[in-house]
Amino acid sequence: MKQVNTFFKSILLVLIILLAFQQANAQSKETITRLAVLEVDSAYLTEYKSFLKEGVEQALKKEPGVLTIYPMSEVSRPTHFTILEVYASKAAYELHLKTPHFLKYKNGTLHMVKSLQLINVDPLTPQFTINQKRKE
């Protein structure tokens, strides 16, 4: 009887692990991961960084569907930026585009941006995530 009980507990544990893996896999397929690659006019570099910082902070603070926004500038070319963006879903991304803080960033920096590429990417290790959400 004890062996049967242990057997069923083992089966239950395996099922729980499989369900958790399936849920994590489904979630990773639902997320949108994108790189924004841009160049900013050097005359506006300080102003652009200010807009970017405010927009990122507001998105991470106010939008649960924004999993991360991680902006970086190149060391040797400080006017070149790559921004890693991860959204929980397409709906979360579309909502982000309509928020006041994103529109302020987008409209306020249009004249500063010399080039912009939006590149959709597939994470190769979706089980490892960058989470920038601030705890306040």
**Fold type of domain 31-136:** Alpha-Beta Plaits (3.30.70)
pLDDT digits (tens, 9 = 90+) for 14-66: 545 544 444 444 445 689 999 999 999 999 999 999 999 999 999 999 999 99
Q: What is the pLDDT of residue 18?
A: 47
Is the separation of the CB atoms in 81 and 40 below 8 Å? Answer: yes
pLDDT digits (tens, 9 = 90+) for 72-127: 999 999 999 999 999 999 999 999 999 999 999 999 999 999 999 999 998 887 76
Q: What is the pLDDT of residue 123?
A: 86
Q: What is the pLDDT of residue 124?
A: 83
* Phi, psi of 117, rounded to the nearest 5 degrees: -125, 130
